[in-house]
Structure 1
Amino acid sequence: MAYRRRPLTPHPHIERLSMLDFPATDVGEHGLTLPSIGLGTAALGNFLSVVPEEQAAATLRRAWDAGIRYFDTAPLYGHGLSEQRIAETISTEQRDSFVVSTKVGRLLRSDAPRDESQYFEGEPFYVDVPETGPVWDFSYDGVITSLHESLERLHLDRVDVLNLHDPDDHYAEASTTAYAALRDLRTQGVVRGIGAGMNQTTVLTQLVSNLDLDMVLLAGRYTLLDQGSMGDLLPACRDNGTRVVVGGVFNSGILIDPSDDARFDYVPAASGIVEKARRIRAVCDRFDVPLAAAAVQFPLAHPQVATVLIGARSVEELDEDLELLSIQIPDQLWFELQREGLLAEGAPIPSLESARR
């Protein structure tokens, strides 16, 4: 299951924007502000393939130099490797100049049993990582312990956001003991924002409806290919004043290149998914716009979306993503996608200005 991302064709006449040119959004009522663009760092935790130390460091430094000031991580990402690599880049920067979010719900332990959810066809999602593995723990003490261990790996005295991580099968604990810990940490001013991160909407919608969350991190369910969250989660977030951070905008790469062997949600894509992605690409081709540019810019138009996370494992991939954010997309492209039924009814579409913010 080795990672492979095809290089993008350079687009002519691009004036690349600094990520500092994009505005920030106030989130919650505890002083949290999130930039429009952040860096997701699962890939830098050796997701699907090894990222050498020097390559990871160069990618993180390039992100900083490009104006990215929001970094999302988790203990699961490389079994602590992602957090450690972030520390090597940002721990010496002025603390109030950046935002870090990490996650709770798993502790890293040397005697961890094998977690089958982290394997596909016998191959692990994270490769060549520390021997310690993830153990589920949504208890009150488990959340506090997870935070302290993350701070040690990050070489920081605080993080800005704590998210419940993948509580799909742990709703009872996540919504009670784990939430109580997050709520108390926010009240004490230890963190400024609390939320939950998942790649499905049913449980996230329950959490948003029943708890006081500042934000959610939604991976892969509000994209150019899949706007399923408009039916439940996004309305719940609107009604409860909860902001959304969108990850997985390329749906595992199919919105970069919908080839026969494309992946969707990390596994081989079904033929119907591939066909829809190709139809979207055909519309983009008519306007000489890369499919990936439309994919990364589309979620920014939704009023509940505070941030889009881009993920890169090399300087080259990061530069490609930054270029995609700078490409001007004509309004007519979005109208054509609507006309052909390729966007959900009512999905907000970017304008030339809103896409660039």
Structure 2
Amino acid sequence: MNPPVKPVGLGFGLLGTTNAAPISDAEAERMMAAAWDMGIRRFDTAPLYGGGLSEERLGRLLRGLPRADYMLSSKVGRYRDYAAAVSNPMDNPGDWRDYSRDATLRAIETSLSRLGTNRLDIAFVHDCDDNIDEALEGALPALADLKSQGVVGAIGCGSNVAATHLALLHHSDLDVLMVAGRFTLLDQTAAKDLFPMCLSRGIDVELAAPFNSGILATGADHPSTRFDYQQPGVEIRARVRKIEAACAAQGVSLKRAALHYSAAHPAVTRLVLGLTEPTGLASNLEDLRHIPPADLWRNLDELGIPAPTKGI
């Protein structure tokens, strides 16, 4: 069996409290066992997700698995009360940010305790879009110190905003970025300046949210579909219908096209997908084993979506 075109990791945000249907412990155990059997060894979480609930639950799922066999990350800077109800994952009432050194050190210590481990392979500064200076002065130096101590293996930024990554890279040395939703069939803002800088500096890019929160997997008309965590508007839905028609003309599903588009850029070293049913994960991995025809990118270019490797 051919391997996927790029390695795949899983994000465990849905193990916290979200505005989506909750995942029971039994379901989570089944999903994790299936992911492990399918060869997934990259897992991501954050204290934001459920105010630590995701970290706790992921820690239980990882118990008994060989620590050297998987890559684990969490984040610092964005926080939420434990098990708080969520109406808006992007900016929920009661959420707070703290990118100071002391808060960062406390957060890592707490995350390690919840996850049941003594080290993180990656620690990301989380969504410091309006707090660049604070992250540069507080969180990142603190993480660099933890890296020198071996508590953290690599440091980086996780954000939905390409400009945030760029701003940090202009003033700091990062190992890896988690770029969420900014190189997809609907949004290519990471391609212009960010990805070339990552290639020139040898910075890994983990591309999260290749479906832009779901709409590029479900299509425009599924009743529960989301675009960037919210219900999509009329224009986005119309845009997705046109993309889906162009994909269908080449015999390619929208989901397969979305995965391959995000994976195709050479700056992208890994895709990070959301936790899902075993059948859904197996379907995604199967999609990533089958390269779409080149004519697909030409069809999409006519809709104003540049080929994923255009200009490289």
Asked if Structure 1 and Structure 2 have the same fold, meaning a TM-score greater than 0.5 normalized by the shorter chain, the answer is: yes
CA pair 125-206 structure 1, distance change in 2 beyond 3 A: closer
Alpha-carbon distance between aligned partners in 2 of 1:306 and 1:47, rounded to the nearest angstrom: 28
Alpha-carbon distance between aligned partners in 2 of 1:37 and 1:237, rounded to the nearest angstrom: 19
Alpha-carbon distance between aligned partners in 1 of 2:241 and 2:214, rounded to the nearest angstrom: 13
Q: 2:123 aligns with which of 156, 162, 170?
A: 162
Q: 1:198 aligns with which of 159, 164, 186?
A: 159
Structure 1 segment 302-321 matched on structure 2, within 5 A: 302-321=265-284
Q: Deviations over 1:258-305 (max 9, x none)?
A: 128643111222333222222211121112211001111222211111
User: Which residue of structure 2 lines up, in the alignment, with residue 26 of structure 1?
Assistant: none
Q: Deviations over 1:91-136 (max 9, x none)?
A: 32221111001101135667x9x9xxx96xxx3549xxxxxx7542
CA pair 73-233 structure 1, distance change in 2 beyond 3 A: same
Structure 1 segment 50-65 matched on structure 2, within 5 A: 50-65=22-37
Contact 1:165 1:196 in 2 (8 A): yes
Alpha-carbon distance between aligned partners in 2 of 1:253 and 1:209, rounded to the nearest angstrom: 32
2:234 is the counterpart of 1:271: yes
Contact 2:118 2:151 in 1 (8 A): no
Q: 2:44 aligns with which of 72, 85, 88?
A: 72
Instruction: For 1:77, give the aligned amino acid.
Output: Y
Question: Percent same amino acid at aligned positions?
Answer: 37
**Count of equivalent residues:** 304
RMSD of aligned alpha carbons: 2.4
Q: 1:87 aligns with which of 59, 62, 66?
A: 59
Alpha-carbon distance between aligned partners in 2 of 1:67 and 1:316, rounded to the nearest angstrom: 14
Contact 1:44 1:313 in 2 (8 A): no
Q: Deviations over 1:20-65 (max 9, x none)?
A: x458xxxxxxxxxxx7210111123243221111111111111111
User: Which residue of structure 2 lines up, in the alignment, with residue 239 of structure 1?
Assistant: 200
Q: Deviations over 1:179-234 (max 9, x none)?
A: 11111112222212100101111222100121100111111111122111122322
Instruction: For 1:67, give the aligned amino acid.
Output: G
Alpha-carbon distance between aligned partners in 2 of 1:50 and 1:242, rounded to the nearest angstrom: 35
Contact 1:280 1:342 in 2 (8 A): no
Contact 2:76 2:108 in 1 (8 A): yes
CA pair 66-46 structure 1, distance change in 2 beyond 3 A: farther
User: Which residue of structure 1 lines up, in the alignment, with residue 211 of structure 2?
Assistant: 250
Q: What is the Cα deviation at residue 328 of structure 1?
A: 3.9
CA pair 347-316 structure 1, distance change in 2 beyond 3 A: closer
Alpha-carbon distance between aligned partners in 2 of 1:196 and 1:177, rounded to the nearest angstrom: 14
User: Which residue of structure 2 lines up, in the alignment, with residue 32 of structure 1?
Assistant: none
User: Which residue of structure 2 lines up, in the alignment, with residue 353 of structure 1?
Assistant: none
Instruction: For 1:259, give the aligned amino acid.
Output: D
2:187 is the counterpart of 1:216: no
Identify which range, 151-160 or 45-54, moves more after superposition: 45-54
2:289 is the counterpart of 1:343: no
Contact 1:70 1:98 in 2 (8 A): yes
User: Which residue of structure 1 lines up, in the alignment, with residue 257 of structure 2?
Assistant: 294
